[in-house]
Chains A and B, each alone.
Chain A
Amino acid sequence: MAWSASKCFQALFVSTLNKDTNVMDLDADTFKAALFDNTITPDRTVSAANSAYAAGVWASGGVSDASGWPAVGRNLASVTSSASAGTYTFDAADTVSANGTTTLTNAYGCLIYDDTSSVAVADQGVCFNYFGGANSVTSGTFTVVWNASGIFTVTV
């Protein structure tokens, strides 16, 4: 198995609706995007603990550049959390490597996680986005352009 889709974690909704301790705040917390290769099989149905960065399938398969795109990921900037016409959207500005000399090999997707909450589940996952294939950069800039529909959406 490997990457096959872009999904929200069900634990995101369970934690939020149950108002778990120190549950994530989507319009105030700091979020990160960490890159992964194709050796992992993301699963949207895992527990909150196993959706977290460095836990479950996210404990291995990381793709990183020490200074350009570290293993813990790059911060999301200008995060927005809003709803309109029956669709909730979580979005941010495009995420760019920290420098123009970044080298990354075979990034197949990314984990979006909350870097602020630390009590109930530290670094709990929000969603994972599958790029659709291998993406590499050699001594250059790596940019993730988020879709016009947002990083994740919920249709109600």
Chain B
Amino acid sequence: MILTPEQRWECPNCTHTDVTHEANPHTRFHPCRGMKGLTAPMVPAGTKCKVEAHEREDYVAGEIVQTDGEGRPVMNLITTRDDGQDCTVFAPTATAFTQ
């Protein structure tokens, strides 16, 4: 009999919660109203942490970047825990134009 572990998730910036049943390591994401609509990572329920958005450090210069609900280009979300730090990077789209 194969047991499927239950993982409860919560968001430190809004009230969203979720439950997954996945054996492999994974992170749950959700559109977070506390992070101005960004797709933000959730953390295992009960985890003490903070999640912060960081703006792009360079000019946008025509790049197709991720923006938050206020139109600011966001480079990443950093989740800081007592025992480490996670990083969620929003990669811009590479382009080629033939027009």
Q: Hey, which chain B residues are within 8 Å of A128, CB to CB?
A: 94
Residues of chain A lying within 8 A (CB to CB) of residue B83: 139
B53-67 interface with A by 8 A CB criterion: 54, 56-58, 61-66
Name the B residues within 8 Å of A155 (CB-CB): 95-99
Q: Does A144 contact B (CB under 8 A)?
A: yes
Question: Closest CB of chain A to B21's CB: distance in Å?
Answer: 18
The interface residues of chain A lying within 8 Å CB-to-CB of B84 are: 101, 137-140
Could you tell me which residues of chain A, from 67 to 88, have a CB within 8 Å of some CB in chain B? Answer: none
Structural contact, B75 and A7, CB atoms closer than 8 A:
no
Indicate which residue in B39, B58, B91, B96 contacts A154 across the interface (CB closer than 8 Å).
B96
Contact partner, A132, options B25, B26, B56, B98, Cβ 8 Å: B56
- Interface pair B95/A147, CB less than 8 Å apart: no
Contact A110 B91 (CB under 8 A): yes
**Residues of chain A in range 115-156 having any CB-CB distance to chain B below 8 Å:** 127-147, 149-156
Q: Tell which of B66, B88, B95 touches A8, judged by Cβ atoms closer than 8 Å.
A: B95
**Binary contact track B69-90/A, C-beta < 8 Å → 1, others 0:** 0000101100101011111111
Q: Contacts A7-B95, A99-B25 known; A132 to B86 CB distance under 8 Å?
A: no
- Contact of A153 with B86 in the complex, beta carbons under 8 Å: no
Q: Give the interface size class of chain B.
A: 35 or more
Which residues of chain A come closer than 8 Å to B76, judged between CB atoms? 131, 135
Task: Please measure, in the bound complex, the distance between the C-alpha atom of A128 and the C-alpha atom of B91, giving whole angstroms.
Answer: 10
Residue of B nearest to A7 (CB): B94
Quick check: B73 and A132 within 8 Å, CB to CB? yes
- List chain B positions with a Cβ less than 8 A from chain A: 25-27, 29, 39, 41, 54, 56-58, 61-66, 73, 75-76, 79, 81, 83-99
A104-B87, A136-B85, A149-B64 given; 20 more Cβ-contact pairs under 8 Å: A4-B58, A5-B63, A8-B95, A8-B96, A129-B93, A129-B94, A132-B58, A133-B56, A133-B57, A135-B87, A135-B89, A137-B87, A138-B85, A140-B86, A141-B25, A145-B89, A147-B90, A152-B94, A153-B93, A154-B98
